[in-house]
Amino acid sequence: MTLLCVHVPSYRLHVALRELAGVRNPSVILADQLHRGHAIEATPEAKSQGVRVGMTLVQAQAAAPDATLLVHDATRSAQLWEDILDALDCVSPLIDSSVEGTAYLEMRGIPGFPQQWIEEAKSALAGIELPFRTGIAENKFSARAAAIVGDGKICAAGEERQLVARLNIATLEVLPEIIARLELLGITKLGELAALPHGPFVRRFGMRAALWHDNAQGIDRTPFLPRAHQLQIAASLYGEGSVEYEEQVYFALRMLVERVHEDLDRLGKRAALLNLQLECENGDQREVPVRIAQPTAERAMLFDLLRANVEGLRFDAPITGLRLQATELESGGVPATLFSGGDPDPRAVELALARLESTLGESATRAELIPANCLESQFTYERFGQTKSRAAVHAIRSEPEAEVIAPPQLRLLKVREIDVVTTDDAPSFVGSPPQTVLRFAGPWRIDEAWFERRIARDEYDVLLEDGALYRIFRQGAHWYVRGAYD
């Protein structure tokens, strides 16, 4: 495996520094947030004044009072990195980027040679003003180390340990507390870390230390995980006046659908989800998601679905902007049955449902309620593995009397383990000292899988020789009492 690493040191800081174009102040602090924030990056000039990553803003500004303070924009940073990855897609379609600022390109099977690949990557990123560094090696950590050692560095197979030995231990990207502990031991370079015995080092610093020790030797066994490609098609209409009537809205929608249809047709894709965003003069914004059961690229179907979902909407001000986005794109044709003459048209059904929901609103739903004291409503039933030999396997019923007798009520007790003797998997003696079971009902199987640990147990009602009626259950190899009937 040959990997090309594209690395931007202190990526978040350099993205923020793009805002200071033309401003000459070498001392800059980057914070995660303005109020009660912490320093997450700093320029070398700020660090020389005493600023450290993790400091509160009060501490950082006290150490470097003349430093410029910037706040990290996560959305802007993520969007710029996505643009960088899209640009690198022309170099290799397989890109692994789990952290913003570092991307690994799988170059196996790509025509050319290492130096040519580096030139192609730099050419693809020529329009983006960031300090990109490149390196090539056989694994991800060594490729990033090559980029740090020198821009365009190529590490041959077998030279990984020699390459990483001179790097600082901060290259491992571990917590500052771990780096401080290693420095107390006199370890500042990866070569010194690699010289430590593996076993004692891992026992002292935990299982994660095994990965650090491997990296210090130029070994990286983490798998290459290519990123998933996301494709969206969008069209918008803004700044062309406002609309107050339905006909004007539908005309604008038809224009947007036409643009989206052209893009879908050019790519050979079908859309499964449409997102329509509407903006009004008073600043109100409305988003209308339109789910398409059978993905399509037909302009008539797309327009009819949008119109059906918009018909029931009411706005307090004229509409000034619309944006239509097609996502969840699919390739290939639409499956159809061989003899479909009598089948209902799925598009007509989908359109009718969309109009009904737009007119009447989505149908109300609620959770099904069950009485809390009816435990049997929670049971799932399954066939018994063998026939019970005792004929008493039936529900306990009171003797019929002339007057109406209220059924016994189950009173829940604190769950505790009890001794039970079974005959043919059914309870025969319960308690200590043991009492004979005169009659029993069950088992009722409870199988609940939504907890962290799966619960599976069998519950019984048992009538003992002293007249007491209990609810007991077996879970695994143990028996427990759950409640008593009053």
**pTM for this one?**
0.51
Please tell me the number of Cα atoms within 13 Å of 263 on its side-chain side. 16
Average pLDDT rounded to a whole number, residues 403-416: 74
Average pLDDT rounded to a whole number, residues 72-98: 87
CA 125 to chain centre: 29
Sorted by sequence, the CB contacts under 8 Å of residue 5 that are 6+ apart come out as 102, 103, 104, 105, 134, 135, 136, 137, 140, 143, 144, 146, 147
Q: Give pLDDT tens digits for 23-54.
A: 666 888 888 888 888 888 888 888 888 888 88
Query: CB of 214 within 8 A of CB of 202?
Result: no
Q: Which superfamily does CATH assign the domain made up of 1-25+67-230 to?
A: Reverse transcriptase/Diguanylate cyclase domain (3.30.70.270)
pLDDT class of 6 with cuts at 50, 70, 90:
very high
What average pLDDT does the chain have? 80
Q: Is 74 helix (H, G, I), strand (E, B) or coil?
A: helix
- The yes-or-no verdict on residue 226 having pLDDT over 80 is no
- The yes-or-no verdict on residue 134 having pLDDT over 90 is yes
- The yes-or-no verdict on residue 346 having pLDDT over 70 is no
pLDDT of res. 341: 62
- The yes-or-no verdict on residue 396 having pLDDT over 90 is no
Nearest to residue 285, comparing CAs of 245, 316, 262, 242? 316
pLDDT of res. 405: 61
Place of tokens 């995660």: 32
* Segment among 70-79, 414-423, 448-457 with least mean pLDDT: 448-457
Q: Where are the domains of the chain?
A: 1-25+67-230, 233-333+344-360, 375-485
pLDDT of res. 145: 92
Separation of alpha carbons 237 and 316, rounded Å: 20
What CATH number does the domain located at 233-333+344-360 have?
3.30.1490.100
| The pair of three-digit structure tokens given for residue 51, joined into one six-digit string | 């600023």
- The yes-or-no verdict on residue 366 having pLDDT over 60 is no
